[in-house]
Amino acid sequence: MIPEQYHDLLESTALAHVATIGPHGEPQVNPVWFGWNGQHLRFSQTTTRQKLRNVQRDPRIALSIVDPANPLRYLEVRGRVVAVEPDPELAFINQMARKYLGLERYPWHRAGDERVVVVVAPEHTTHMG
């Protein structure tokens, strides 16, 4: 699905800027840490976030990822949220802390924060560079 020559971006520590559709049909976008397991892009959210409500209302999503080593090279992945999985043991957010911070555990977890993993199936890409 995603062209081979962009797989390095999926393994990099680039942020993904995630666009979703808000409650009035408007675009919303912000950066997230993401992981790639060869099939899905995944990112963590607390259950109170607007973005989670957005994808539960409309699962269509797009992610923009720029090469940290070359700002003229990017990949856009468009797809759908196909699952929202609980992360009660914080396994996924801790994996992201290892990837992005080099830390064993996500350092900003607060008691009471409920985390989920948003799972995105790619359907289409655009790219440059």
Helix (H, G, I), strand (E, B) or coil at 87: coil
Minimal distance in Å, beta carbon 103 to a copy of itself?
13
Minimal distance in Å, beta carbon 121 to a copy of itself?
14
Task: Between 72 and 88, name the residue whose CB sits nearer to a copy of itself.
Answer: 72
Minimal distance in Å, beta carbon 118 to a copy of itself?
14
Cα–Cα separations (whole angstroms), residue 31 to 4, 8, 12, 17, 41: 23, 19, 14, 4, 14
Task: Between 10 and 18, name the residue whose CB sits nearer to a copy of itself.
Answer: 18
Binding stretches for a copy of itself (CB under 8 A):
15, 17-21, 25-31, 58, 60-64, 66, 71, 74, 76, 78, 100, 126, 128
CA atoms within 13 A on the CB side of 69: 4
Task: Between 19 and 93, name the residue whose CB sits nearer to a copy of itself.
Answer: 19
How many CB atoms neighbour CB 66 within 10 A?
Answer: 19
Structure tokens at 83: 């699952």
How far apart CA 78 and CA 16 sit, in angstroms, is 12
Minimal distance in Å, beta carbon 76 to a copy of itself?
5
Task: Between 16 and 117, name the residue whose CB sits nearer to a copy of itself.
Answer: 16
